[in-house]
Amino acid sequence: MKERIRRIFTETTEAPDVLLFANSAEPHLDMGFFYVTGVPSGLFEGSFAAAYPDGSCTILTSPLEETSARAGKDVDVAVAASRDELRKEFAKLLKGAKKIGLNYREITHESYRGIRRYAKGGKFLDVSVAVGKARSIKDSSEIARISKAAQIAAETAKRIPKMLRSGMTELELAAEVEHSMGTLGASGRSFSTIVAFGAHGAEPHFEPTSTRLKKPTTMVVDFGALYQRYCSDVTRSFAFGRPGKEFRDMHETVEAAQQAAFDKIAAGVPASEVHEAAAKVIDGSRWKGRFIHGLGHSVGLAVHDGFGVSPRVKDALQEGMVVTVEPGIYVPKMGGVRIEDDVLVTKNGYRMLSKAPRGYLEV
């Protein structure tokens, strides 16, 4: 954890004396807290982490999370059972600190107001950009966890065709997908599973309903596993029965677009160029203009971990990033196709983390 903390300080533009990460109530938890502490379990609502330039870190929490906090490596633990104790412990954490770095992107207004009460006289700095840059480059332990999460999702993708049966609902398939990930070792889902039958597939972020599966139709299934706090994100599109040649052509176009993006990935390549490689394939087909979102995003402690792969992002990919590659075609009132995988950016290319068949499949 010390190296992660030092990396954040290196990325700051105005050197703070301390970094302070604040959790509110779930789901308003700062993933930066878990990044600098490395605690393996625990919710840590209402807890704080103070990190210092030398790489040291102290967790300030309640008796509820004390045992979980002490399981962290290279962290000190302070416990406050009352408001008075919290004030005293805060005074220790911020002693001598004139500049306090806060992760503005993830702190709630309520938490911010509470910190102001305990840190009178200190200057607050927004260090969210520095935190994002540090988190975008994964260390070996993070890569191992994301790889496991991706393996779980990939194995589930292989199982989906056998799950399909006439009459099942989108909600039922979503439940079976999540159950599969659990049996394979996931601690949960990294986001709400998307299952979209037929025309619903034209909505990239569709929420599953009680719509029933019947032949012939198409579907988009987008899901991710959570493993030791780290996420994966995988999408596969299937044909149930024989929906016609147009869907097959659409699927093969998306597959070619994804491969074009893969071929472009390497450290030093601007993210926008990777997106454009995929978009060029789709815009060169009859579905020009139907790729309606960015190509992907970084994955880590959050499923959308801060870095984007889109036409607007000119920043270069860096070795150690884990990003999704997820081109899609969406046709209102007809349906859609999206194929998504998680890849690790390497010096000269990429390493596939979610190894599952990507080709057209009729079930």
Q: φ, ψ for residue 291 (rounded to 5)?
A: -95, 100
Question: Rounded distance, CA 60 to CA 12, Å?
Answer: 23
Q: What is the mean pLDDT of residues 90-113?
A: 93
pLDDT at 283 over 80: yes
Whole-Å CA distances, 211 to 21, 176, 198, 201: 43, 15, 10, 12
> 49, 62, 41: which is closest to 22 by C-alpha?
49
Instruction: Give the distance, in angstroms, between the CA of residue 10 and the centroid of all CA atoms in the same chain.
Output: 24
* pLDDT confidence band for 73 (50 / 70 / 90): confident
Q: What is the mean pLDDT of residues 98-109?
A: 96
- Share above pLDDT 70 across residues of the chain, in percent, rounded to a whole number: 100
Distinct helix (H) and strand (E) counts, the chain: 10, 19
pTM: 0.95
- Share above pLDDT 90 across residues of the chain, in percent, rounded to a whole number: 94
Encode pLDDT of 238-253 as tens digits: 999 999 999 999 999 9
Q: What is the mean pLDDT of residues 100-124?
A: 91
pLDDT mean across residues, the chain: 96
Question: Rounded distance, CA 293 to CA 288, Å?
Answer: 13
DSSP reduced 3-state for 225: strand
pLDDT at 127 over 80: yes
The per-residue pLDDT for 307 is 93
pLDDT at 121 over 80: no
Q: What is the mean pLDDT of residues 11-28?
A: 94
The per-residue pLDDT for 149 is 98
Whole-Å CA distances, 282 to 67, 161, 319, 325: 52, 26, 27, 14
Domains and CATH numbers, the chain: 2-136 (3.40.350.10), 140-352 (3.90.230.10)
Q: What is the mean pLDDT of residues 189-204?
A: 98
